[in-house]
Amino acid sequence: MFREIAEPPVVGSRQAFVLPLSILAHLVLLAMTLVMSVLAPGVLPVPATALMAFVNRDVFLPQEPPLPPRQSVAARARVLDIHREPRH
């Protein structure tokens, strides 16, 4: 069993073409998709109309909160700093 791991059997020539064949197949599919989207633009949905299925037009904004109550004149008066050194 260790010999199979240390010295793997010779890989057949069939497996050597799997990766390049896969890359080629994916490139062909990608090219076909791009060509079809260019040649038949009317078949594809327009993004704005396609997204409207997920948008609700009946959106209500929350009500604005009321303004805070106004402070009285006495509350807005200057506050004196009692820890300040007296002037001489």
Q: Mind listing the pLDDT tens digit for each residue in 58-81?
A: 778 889 989 888 877 766 666 666
How many CA atoms, within 13 angstroms, populate the side-chain half-sphere of residue 19?
Answer: 2
pTM of the complete model: 0.39
Q: How confident is the model at residue 27 (pLDDT cuts 50, 70, 90)?
A: very high
User: Which positions ≥6 away from 68 have C-beta within 8 Å?
Assistant: none
